[in-house]
Amino acid sequence: MYVVNIICQAIEKVNVGKFHAMVINNVATCKSASRIIKDKYPHVTYSGCTTHGSDLVFKDIGKIEWVSKLAKEVKANITFITNNHKS
């Protein structure tokens, strides 16, 4: 129940209406905790696979305008440095 209480506190702190997903470790404790949380907050989804969950989070972050612009600039700089190793 400790894990459930910590996660529920975080959900309440963020605001239940703004909290839509959680990424957890695939450990048995977390699996059972996620079931309890899902019963309490039916709209919250969870990912038992940290890698997949992280990928989804980073895709959403990448949709933010300033993050997208920064990522394109970084990619251009990396391409330049890779293609012009003497620079």
The pTM of the full predicted model, rounded to 2 decimals, is 0.42
pLDDT, tens digit, 9 for 90 and up, residues 45-85 = 766 556 666 777 888 898 999 999 999 999 999 999 888 87
Q: Which residue has the higher pLDDT, 33 or 60?
A: 60
**pLDDT score at 51:** 65
**pLDDT score at 64:** 92
Distance CA 47, CA 57 (A): 11
Q: How confident is the model at residue 15 (pLDDT cuts 50, 70, 90)?
A: confident
How many C-beta atoms surround the C-beta of residue 22 within 10 A? Answer: 19
What is the token pair recorded at 25? 């470790």
